[in-house]
C-alpha cells in the first residue's frame, strides 16, 4: 500500500533504505566519479551512509527533524571533504526546516528539499548548470513545490522523475567546481557523480513511499 | 572493492592510510605534540593567553599540513581522510584544543571542501563561544588570473606563510593582528608548479591524472589540475627560466633590492639532486634582477604521493615579515634554526 503520510519511524526506515541503496550503488558512483574526478565519491558516500545507519539505529528517533539531521551529522562527520559538507548540509538544513512536523507528507517533502538545496547552494556557491549535485537537487525541489498539494506517493513519483531528468541534463554541462573543472569540455557526456547520488537517494524515498 | 596496489605502496590497508599515518606522525613528534579527538594534532607547550594558529587539510600530502605543528609553526592541525578535507567536528575538536581564550586563526589552502568544512567548523566554534578568523592561502599563480585571485588554489607557498604566521603567533597578542600578518604573508607569496608524472590514489592505485612521458605540465596543480601549458620535456636550466618567467609575470612586484624567501619544493618523487640543479639555475636569474634571496628552502614538503614535479615559491619580505621569518621554528615538516 502506498503511504499517504510517514511517521517519524517510517521516515527513519525510509532513510535507512536510502543508505542501503547508496552502499549498494558504491561501484556505480565510484565509476561515475572516475570519469570526472578522482574516483572516490562512492567510497565516501558509502562511509557516510554506514555511519548514518549506525547513528539511526543507535537510539529511538525523537522526531522527523532529528531523523534527517542524524543522517546529515553522520555524513558530515564521517566523510569530510566537499561531499561530506554538501550532503551533510542537505540533510541537516532540510531536516531543520521540518522542525515541529509530526507527519511527513508532500508539503513536508517540498519544505525538506527546498531548505536542503538552499543550504547546499549557500554553502558551496554552486548554481544550476554548474554540473554538481545541485543539478539534481534543485529540479527535485522545484517539482516538489509544484506538487506539494498532491498525495505523497504521487508527489514523490513526480519528484523522482524530475531528479533523474536533472541528473541526465548534467551530462551536457561543463563543470565549474571540483576536479572535473580541470577537464573543461572533456567532462561532457558524463553525469555528475553527486547528482547520481541524489537520484539514488530520491529513488529510495519513492520506492519506500510507493511500495 | 579491489585493493589493487600497482604503485607498490608500502601500506597495510588502503582505506586506513589516513589514520595510520596520523598515528605514526604523533610518534614522530617525540612528545612535543599529542593526538586530540578523532584526528587532530596539537602542540603540548602552547604559549598562554595567545591567539592560536590552526592549519589543516586532507591527508596524503605529507608532511603538510599536520607536519607543520610545532614551536614557531602552527599550534595544531585538523586532519582529513586521504585527499579529503577534515570534517567540521575534527576542525572543532582541534579549535577547542588550541584555543587559549584569545581566539583561533584558521589558515588553510583554497579548495572547496576545505573552505566548506572549516567554515562549518568556525560556526560550531562560534556556538561554543570561540572567536575564529580565517585566512585562505591562494598562492598558485597558474590556477587563475590576478583578477580572480579568490579562485587560486593553495600550494607550496603555505610553508613560508605558515612559518611567518607561526612566528607571529609567538609574539602578537591579538587574533586580529595574527590574521593581518598571515594575510600579508599570503599577499606577498606566489608559487608556480610543474608536473612530470602523476601520483596515485592509495585506495584505488589509480594515477591522479595522465601525462605523456615526454611532456611537462606547466602550472599544473598538486592534484593534476590543469595548468597553463603542456610543454616538451626540457633541461633544468630551461625549466627554471620558464617557471620564474611565470612568477615575474604575475602581480607581485619584485624590484631590485627586494628580499625574498625562495622555496624549491619537490611534489613527491622528484629528487633533491634535481631540486639543487634547479636552484643553481634560478639563483643567477633572481640576482640579475637585483632580487636578494634572504633564505632558501629546498625540500619535499608539499607533496602528492609519488607525483614528480617541482614548484618555486617566492615570499617577498618587508621588515615586519622578515622579523617573523627570522624566528626559529621546529616541526616534523620544516625546522629553521
| Torsion of Cα atoms, A75 then A79 then A82 then A88, to 10° | 10
Our count of domains for chain B comes to: 2
- If asked whether residues B177 and B244 sit together in one domain, one would say no
> In this predicted model, what pLDDT tens digit does every residue of B246-266 receive, in sequence order?
999 999 999 999 999 999 999
Can you list the domains of chain A with their CATH numbers? 8-210 (1.25.40.340)
- If asked whether residues B118 and B154 sit together in one domain, one would say yes
CATH of the domain at B197: 3.30.1180.20
The whole-number average pLDDT for the span B73-97 is 96
pLDDT beneath 50, residues of chain A:
none
Can you give the residue range of the structural domain that contains B273? 189-325
> In angstroms, rounded to a whole number, what is the distance separating the alpha carbons of residues B275 and B7?
23
> In this predicted model, what pLDDT tens digit does every residue of B56-66 receive, in sequence order?
999 999 999 99
Cell of B227: 595548468
Residue B1 has pLDDT above 50, yes or no: no
* Residue A83 backbone dihedrals phi, psi, to 5 degrees: -65, -40
Neighbours of B241 (CB within 10 A): 15
Is there a contact between A44 and B84 if contact means CB atoms under 8 Å apart? yes
> In angstroms, rounded to a whole number, what is the distance separating the alpha carbons of residues B204 and B202?
6
Whether B336 maps to a domain, the answer reads no
**What pLDDT score was predicted for residue B223?**
79
> In angstroms, rounded to a whole number, what is the distance separating the alpha carbons of residues B196 and B188?
27
> In this predicted model, what pLDDT tens digit does every residue of B162-212 receive, in sequence order?
999 999 999 999 999 999 999 999 999 999 999 999 998 888 788 888 899
Mutation for B interface: A69, A72, A80, most B CBs within 10 A: A80
Any chain B CB within 8 A of the CB of A99? no
Residue B119 has pLDDT above 90, yes or no: yes
Choose between B119 and B223: higher pLDDT. B119
Residues 6+ apart with CB under 8 A from B330: B32, B70, B71, B72, B73, B336
Whether B101 maps to a domain, the answer reads yes
> In angstroms, rounded to a whole number, what is the distance separating the alpha carbons of residues A12 and B137?
41
| Torsion of Cα atoms, B107 then A132 then A185 then B225, to 10° | 20
Choose between B122 and B14: higher pLDDT. B122
- If asked whether residues B176 and B194 sit together in one domain, one would say no
**What pLDDT score was predicted for residue B139?**
98
- If asked whether residues B117 and B96 sit together in one domain, one would say yes
**What pLDDT score was predicted for residue B4?**
64
- If asked whether residues B209 and B314 sit together in one domain, one would say yes
Query: A34: distance to nearest CA of chain B, Å?
Result: 10
Residue that terminates a domain, selected from B187, B216, B237: B187
- If asked whether residues B41 and B143 sit together in one domain, one would say yes
Q: Can B3 be counted among the known catalytic residues?
A: no
Mutation for A interface: B13, B78, B116, most A CBs within 10 A: B116
Is there a contact between B206 and A44 if contact means CB atoms under 8 Å apart? no
> In this predicted model, what pLDDT tens digit does every residue of B19-39 receive, in sequence order?
999 999 999 999 999 999 999
Whether B311 maps to a domain, the answer reads yes
Q: State the pTM of this model.
A: 0.93
Whether B2 maps to a domain, the answer reads no
Nearest to A80 among B15, B117, B206 (CB): B117
What is the secondary structure of B178-218 as a DSSP string? HHHHHHHHHHTEEEEEEEEE--B-TTT--BSS---TTEEEE
| Mean confidence (pLDDT) of chain B | 95
- If asked whether residues B242 and B277 sit together in one domain, one would say yes
- If asked whether residues B56 and B169 sit together in one domain, one would say yes
Amino acid at each position: 500500500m502506498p503511504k499517504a503520510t510517514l511517521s517519524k519511524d517510517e521516515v527513519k526506515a525510509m532513510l535507512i533504505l536510502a543508505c542501503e541503496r547508496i552502499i549498494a550503488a558504491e561501484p556505480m558512483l565510484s565509476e561515475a566519479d572516475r570519469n570526472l574526478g578522482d574516483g572516490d565519491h562512492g567510497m565516501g558516500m558509502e562511509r557516510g551512509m554506514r555511519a548514518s545507519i549506525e547513528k539511526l539505529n543507535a537510539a529511538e528517533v525523537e522526531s522527523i527533524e532529528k531523523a534527517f539531521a542524524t543522517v546529515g551529522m553522520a555524513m558530515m562527520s564521517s566523510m569530510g571533504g566537499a561531499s561530506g559538507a554538501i550532503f551533510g548540509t542537505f540533510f541537516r538544513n532540510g531536516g531543520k526546516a521540518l522542525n515541529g512536523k509530526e507527519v511527513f507528507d508532500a508539503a513536508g517533502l517540498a519544505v525538506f528539499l527546498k531548505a536542503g538545496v538552499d543550504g547546499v547552494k549557500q554553502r558551496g556557491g554552486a548554481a544550476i548548470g554548474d554540473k554538481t549535485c545541485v543539478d539534481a537537487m534543485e529540479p527535485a525541489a522545484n517539482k516538489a513545490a509544484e506538487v506539494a498539494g498532491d498525495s505523497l506517493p504521487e508527489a514523490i513519483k513526480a519528484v523522482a522523475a524530475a531528479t533523474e531528468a536533472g541528473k541526465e541534463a548534467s551530462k551536457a554541462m561543463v563543470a565549474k567546481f571540483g576536479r572535473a573543472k580541470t577537464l573543461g569540455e572533456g567532462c561532457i557526456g558524463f553525469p555528475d557523480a553527486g547528482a547520481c547520488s541524489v537520484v539514488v537517494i530520491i529513488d529510495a524515498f519513492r520506492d519506500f513511499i510507493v511500495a | 572493492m579491489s585493493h589493487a596496489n600497482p604503485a607498490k605502496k608500502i601500506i597495510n590497508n588502503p582505506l586506513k592510510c589516513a589514520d595510520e599515518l596520523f598515528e605514526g606522525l604523533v610518534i614522530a613528534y617525540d612528545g612535543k605534540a599529542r593526538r586530540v579527538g578523532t584526528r587532530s594534532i596539537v602542540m603540548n607547550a602552547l604559549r598562554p593567553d595567545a591567539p592560536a594558529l590552526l592549519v589543516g587539510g586532507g591527508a596524503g600530502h605529507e608532511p603538510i599540513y599536520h607536519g607543520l605543528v610545532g614551536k614557531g609553526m602552527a599550534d595544531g592541525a585538523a586532519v582529513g581522510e586521504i585527499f579529503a578535507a577534515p570534517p567540521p567536528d575534527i576542525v572543532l575538536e582541534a579549535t577547542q584544543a588550541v584555543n587559549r581564550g584569545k581566539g583561533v586563526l584558521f589558515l588553510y589552502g583554497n579548495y572547496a571542501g576545505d573552505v566548506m568544512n572549516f567554515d562549518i567548523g568556525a560556526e560550531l566554534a562560534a556556538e561554543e563561544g570561540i572567536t575564529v578568523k580565517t585566512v585562505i592561502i591562494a598562492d598558485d599563480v597558474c590556477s587563475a588570473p590576478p583578477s580572480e585571485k579568490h579562485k587560486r588554489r593553495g600550494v607550496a607557498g603555505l610553508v613560508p606563510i605558515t612559518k611567518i604566521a607561526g612566528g607571529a603567533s609567538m609574539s602578537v597578542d591579538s587574533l586580529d593582528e595574527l590574521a593581518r600578518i598571515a594575510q600579508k604573508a599570503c599577499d606577498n607569496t606566489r608559487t608556480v608548479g610543474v608536473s612530470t608524472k602523476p601520483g596515485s590514489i592509495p585506495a584505488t592505485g589509480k594515477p591522479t591524472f595522465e601525462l605523456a612521458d615526454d611532456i611537462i605540465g606547466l602550472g599544473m596543480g598538486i592534484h593534476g589540475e590543469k595548468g597553463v601549458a603542456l610543454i616538451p620535456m626540457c633541461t633544468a636550466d630551461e625549466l627554471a627560466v620558464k617557471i620564474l618567467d611565470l612568477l615575474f609575470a604575475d602581480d607581485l612586484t619584485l624590484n631590485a633590492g627586494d628580499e625574498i624567501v625562495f622555496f624549491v619544493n619537490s611534489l613527491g618523487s622528484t629528487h633533491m639532486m634535481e631540486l639543487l640543479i634547479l636552484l643553481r639555475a634560478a639563483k643567477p636569474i633572481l640576482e640579475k634582477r637585483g632580487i636578494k634571496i634572504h633564505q632558501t628552502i629546498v625540500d619535499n614538503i608539499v607533496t602528492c604521493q609519488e607525483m614528480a614535479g617541482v614548484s618555486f615559491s617566492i615570499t617577498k619580505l618587508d621588515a615586519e615579515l622578515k622579523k617573523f621569518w627570522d624566528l626559529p621554528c621546529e616541526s616534523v615538516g620544516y625546522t629553521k634554526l
